[in-house]
Each structure stands twice: as C-alpha cells, then as structure tokens.
Amino acid sequence: MSKVKETQHWWITSLLIFLLLGCDQVQDRSTTAEQLTQASGDIYQPVVEGHQLRFPRDFSSHPGFRMEWWYLTANLEDENGETFGVQWTLFRMATGTENDGGWKTPQMFMAHAVVTSAKKKWFAERFARGGIGQAGVMPKPYRAWLDNWSWRSLGQSPFPGLLEFQDGDMAARLQINNQGSIVLQGKDGYSRKHRSEDIASYYYSAPFLKVDGILDLDGKQYKVKGDGWYDREWSSTMLAKNQLGWDWFSVHLDDGSALMLYQIREKNHQPFYFGTLSWPDGKVVQLGQEDIQLTPLGYTPVEGKSLPLDWRIDVPSQQIELRAEVVRKEQWLPFMFPYWEGPIKVKGSHSGQGFMELTGY
C-alpha cells in the first residue's frame, strides 16, 4: 500500500469506527459530538484548574492531549466594498499516547479552508499524518501547516504572520497582525464546558487581529483587509455524553470591544453558557451562566437540517442587545465532521460583524 493510500485508509477506517460507536449512543447526537466526547481509558492528559498558560510555549502543540485546534476567522472587504468571510482551521487528533514517529505516529491532522462571499462559498478539507513532515506545528520559528497550507512567522509567536492556502479555484495570501492583548477564556484559560461534570479545555483568543492581503477566487484577484479573530483550544474531553453540540459567536463591536459567546446544548437541560467581553488594552469581563441570553428567532432548512440562523443576543449586565443575522444561509460545511460556519452581522445596541459556528446538528 502506498503512503498516500495508507493515510486515506486510516481516515476512512477512523470515520467508520466513529459512526459505529455512535450507534450505541443517544440517537440525536451527531458524529461530531461523539468524537468530542472522552473515549474510555483516560489515557490522555487531563485539563486541570490552576495550570498556568505560558507564551510562547502555548502557541505550539500539546500532543499529550487528545485534540486541539488553531482557528482563524476574518471579516474582510475589498477596494470596491465587496465583503468576504475567511476561515482557516488546523486540527490535531491523537489516536494514542505512543511516542512513535514516522508512519507510526498517533498524531493525525485535519485542516479546513473556507472563503465566503454574499453569493458563494469556496471550501476544502485536507488530512495528513503528523510524523512524516506532511503536517505539524513548529515553535521556532513558528509554523503551522498541512501540505502547502501554512501559517508561519519569523518568531515564536503566530503574529505577525503569513497565512497561505490554495485549493482548486480558491487561494489566499494574508498578512496577520495582532493589535490587542491575548484573552484567557474562563479562569486564567481554564474553560469549563459543563455545569457539574469535570469537563474543560485550555482556551485563549486573540480577538484584535488586522488582516490584509490577496484572495484569488475563480481566477479573479481581490485585495482585501479587515478584522480577524484567532482561537486556540486543547483538551482530552470537550463534551459530556448528554451534550449535543454548541453554538459559538465571535463579534467585533462598533465601540472597539470584542464579544465571544458560547452555548453548549444539553439533552433535557438548559444550555451551558460562557463568554467574554474584551478590549485591546487588556480589559476582560468574564461572562457566565447568569449573564448570557441566546434566543433563536427562527429555524431555516439547510441541507436537510433545521438550523437556527437568526438570533437575539442579550447580555444585560453589559447593556448589550443585539440581533444577529447571517450573511449567507447556505454555509453547511460537508466535512468529515460537518458543521455550519459563516460570517454574521449584528445590529441593535451596537453594530458589528463576526462569525457564528453551529455544531452537533
């Protein structure tokens, strides 16, 4: 068997295993939710409260944990006022804790690239094994890559950095600069995911990015610039067995602040809420269960699913009352672990723009 076919065979086998495991679980849980629930055996490193995040160390990979991701979204505009949403994500998933290298490594990578205009989305998904140079994250100088998709910088931080990806009729070359502080989500980066069970991740964000560069779409080039948002998260368990998925919002507001809201849906229970309101100077307000009200205003059929694409967002303690509307409804991404992801606009007490992600539907 060739090396390429061996990698493809591993991913197909893994998908079949995940689907089979899902048959013994609650029937309304998605395959994505099953993958994010802790496997038996507890062989991976746990997330513990009190652990101190350190930089530049935590810009890099954490192979002792089961899963992690490097996640960028950006709302961009060209010189003629046409708007685009960009998403680029690198995922690492471990199949074990062995230290074997080469083709025996347990570290597997997946990457998503998506560009959205008002009329169309371009998207691609790639897979790779981590021990053969095809994908990985290097700390010095910083580089996160899968094949010819890469985010690299000259230092140990992702910022300032250059993101490049190309697939078919979609290509991007984007300069990324951070113009604000790093936001530690939850308690010093310890982000709880359940009201009672010991489920959490290490989670931080860089919400104040400036992005500029070139998009090449269907043979036409666009010179773009705008605001970006970077999320880093790693854990060995992201969901409890009765949790179904999440709804996530990241919004740049017109007063210069950045709002992140997270709702984890749970079968037969109220969702678990958390979030932050932050500013470039380092001020951060942590938002908890009593602060956040997320109300779907209607459901839209997309790819055979009924999805909440219009929302009311209320954070009374911060005098925030928003109506969130999607730029494009047809943003269901039919990846191995499918989800809805796309740019949004908000209006109300503030105006702004950002991204929404819906998983587990």
The model's pLDDT over 134-149, given as tens digits with 9 standing for 90+, comes to 999 999 999 999 999 9
Side-chain half-sphere exposure of 99, counting CA atoms within 13 A: 0
Decide if pLDDT at 273 tops 60.
yes
- pLDDT tier for residue 100 given thresholds of 50, 70 and 90: confident
Which whole number is the average pLDDT over 284-311? Answer: 96
- pLDDT tier for residue 286 given thresholds of 50, 70 and 90: very high
What does 44-76 look like in DSSP terms, one character per residue? SPPP-TTPPP-TTGGGS--TTSSEEEEEEEEEE
N-terminal to C-terminal alpha carbon distance within the chain: 36
CB 178 within 8 A of CB 209: yes
Which whole number is the average pLDDT over 286-315? Answer: 97
- pLDDT tier for residue 240 given thresholds of 50, 70 and 90: confident
- Give the domain extent around 171: 3-358
Q: What is the pLDDT of residues 146-165, one digit of tens each?
A: 999 999 999 999 999 999 99
Total domains in the chain come to 1
CB 18 within 8 A of CB 343: no
Q: Report which listed range, 14-28, 99-113, 164-178, is most confident.
A: 164-178
Task: Please tell me the total number of residues recorded for the chain in this structure.
Answer: 361
- pLDDT tier for residue 238 given thresholds of 50, 70 and 90: confident
- How far is 108 from 98, CA to CA, in rounded Å? 13
Q: How far is CA 82 from CA 79, 94, 206, 254, 329, in A?
A: 7, 40, 25, 19, 17
Q: What is the pLDDT of residues 209-230, one digit of tens each?
A: 999 999 999 999 999 999 999 9
Lowest mean pLDDT across 27-36, 67-76, 271-280: 27-36
| Number of other CB atoms surrounding residue 337 within 10 Å | 21
Residue 163: which CATH number? 2.40.370.10
